[in-house]
Structure 1
Amino acid sequence: MSKDHQTLNEFVNRFWYVPSDIVARLAEALVWQERSFKKPVLDIGCGDGSIGELIFKGKVIDMGIDLNQKAIETAADSDVYKKTRAADATKLPFKNNSYQTVVSNSTFEHINDDVQAVKEAYRVLEPGGYLYLTVPTDKFEAAVARLARTEKNLARINQRLAHYHYHSLKDWRVILKRTGFQTVEFKYFFPERMVNVWYRFFRLVTFKPNKRELWSYLSDDRFKRFMPKKLIKVILFKYFQGFYGDLFSKKGCLLFIKALKR
């Protein structure tokens, strides 16, 4: 099994009950696997560590932060993070010039004052340090808007995703430059065709049969023992296998950015 297929297999085994996460996070993982980081490394928005264990596999992150205290307690038990801490990205509890690298995977769109979070990342980075981001862009919003069909449906989806922003590359260049960063690399990935795939699964797993979203039933020990998990995993693996060639495109709706603190 190739490295890419091994990564897919790990995502399917972990997140078989929420396929929309498999397709989006797989693309992100393949982006992060290409990177190496200077230590020490800070991860902004580490969550419970389940995504970090896969996208940062083979790497060690010195500090992971998240607003969610319960998630942080779980992340502390992962193999990726040396330390974890509940903290606000707009008020980082670290001294100036504390880290050589700051990473953040699909987090800044969830931060209301994302500009302040960028300023904080700049503050805690050493001169010559790098900020690495993945974020959805305005192209992602436009693709979802076409699928949602109405502004009301789009607003409902954004509320469910807890997305405050969809900045373009141009917007990000301006935000980073004004903060003192220099954008040194960017890469689009996850084109509209993949957004269509993601959207179909997202609608499915967030459907509420009885006040709870479907994915929550599938992940519940009381119910998942009745599910043909092995068969589902085989089907999902074979299905997503066919999309590897479509994950990366100059017309992608997600964006990877590398920025230098000058």
Structure 2
Amino acid sequence: MSMNVRSQKDTPPQSRAYVTDVRSLHLDAPTFRMLLELQGPSLGLWRAAEIAVLREQEYERPVLDLGCGDGVVTSFVLSKVEVGLDPDKKVLAQAAERGIYERFEATPAEELPLPDESMGTIVSNSVLEHLLKIDAVLEQVARVLRPGGRLLFTVPTEAFSTWLFLPSRRYAAWRNRQLAHRNLWPVERWVYHLRRVGLEVEMVRPYLRRELVYTWDALELLQQIWICRRRLVSIIWRHLPPSALDWLALRASRLDLSSSTVGGGRLIVARKR
């Protein structure tokens, strides 16, 4: 795949060697429209970037969706997934409604109940940043991947905490506690942990520049305003006419969701040796 690499003068030196794809990134208006309707303005924006980067990739079967949750994001990327794994049975019931998963495993990620070398691709969207037993999970990932198989995962970056709406360490710590973030690592740390289990990073794709992370967080804060036990933004959002959502989706589809620097989030692709 040919890469059009822009200037990276603002990229931290420790990350620059791994940024291989900073092409412009867009999501089509119909998908954006569905996301805005399903998930609202803030989560819809973040998920749009994740879906856009995941759609660029190839998925060798069988595919395991690690931490699949309700399956919304994956359903916008793949039409068929062999295994969905999540420890929460309630969200697996929601994922089943998507109609893309062949079967589910309701177990923690560090206890993958799958045979050795049985998966061609493992995809994981916004999961690994939350995990306490990250090395145990990566060991299981390496075990069940076939030689040459790939792990594709999205995570917030080390820049996330400094690009939020309020430039305060206390505020960033509060937001990260809210979001249960544990592993907001630079690329090098991911490379180290992946290499320990026999996975080599092939590609890094940053997304969501500083301005979009700032906008996302501002929208998140607005959604935390409550009136009469209901979220104010949710009340307004649910009463928007369809034409307004159509207009917003069209405008949003013109946004460049990529980042020429570290990004608020990144896709990392690693292959089993």
Q: How high is the TM-score relative to the length of structure 2? A: 0.83
Unaligned runs of 5+ in 1: none
- The one-letter code sitting in structure 1 at the alignment partner of 2:260 is K
- Residues 176-225 of structure 1 show CA distances to partners (whole Å, capped at 9, x for unaligned) of 11111111111111111110111111111123335565566679xxxx4x
Q: Percent identity?
A: 29
1:8 to 18, 25, 32: 32
Residue 212 of structure 2: which of 175, 182, 194 is its match? 194
CA deviations over 1:63-114 (Å, ceiling 9, x no partner): 1111211000111121221112211011112222121110001111121222
Q: Decide which of 73, 78, 81 is 1:61's aligned counterpart.
A: 81
Q: Do 2:87 and 2:108's aligned partners in 1 also have CA atoms closer than 8 Å?
A: yes
Structure-1 separation of matches of 2:105 and 2:233 = 28
Q: Equivalent residue for 2:158?
A: 138
Which structure has more relative contact order (CA 8 Å, sep 6+)? It is: 2
**1:40-189 residue pairs with structure 2 within 5 A?**
40-54=62-76, 56-57=77-78, 59-144=79-164, 147-189=165-207
Displacement of 1:45: 1.2
* Secondary structure of the structure 1 residue equivalent to 2:61: coil
Decide whether the 8 Å contact of 1:187 with 1:250 is kept in 2. Answer: no
Deviation at 1:62, TM superposition (A): 0.6
Structure 1 stretches of 4+ with a deviation exceeding 4 A read 210-219
Q: CA RMSD in A?
A: 2.2
Say if 2:242 is the partner of 1:230.
Answer: yes
Q: How many residues align?
A: 247
Change (3 A) 1:233 1:126: same
Alpha-carbon deviation of 1:9? 2.3
Please report how far the alpha carbon of residue 232 of structure 1 lies from its aligned counterpart in structure 2 after TM superposition. 4.4
Contact residue 75 and residue 84 of structure 1 kept, 8 A: no
Q: Identify the residue that residue 260 of structure 2 maps to in structure 1.
A: 250
User: Aligned partner of 2:246: which letter?
Assistant: V
CA distance in 1, matches of 2:69, 2:230: 22
Secondary structure (helix, strand or coil) at the match of 1:132 reads: strand
Which secondary structure state, in structure 2, belongs to the residue aligned with residue 90 of structure 1? helix
1:259 aligns with 2:270: yes
Contact 2:30 2:249 in 1 (8 A): no
Q: Distance in 1 between matches of 2:68 and 2:162?
A: 27
Gaps of 5+ in 2: 1-25
Q: Which residue among 213, 225, 228 is the counterpart of 1:207?
A: 225
Structure 1 distance, partners of 2:163, 2:95, is 32
**Aligned equivalents of 2:148 and 2:92: distance in 1?**
29
Pairwise CA distance, 1:155: 2.3
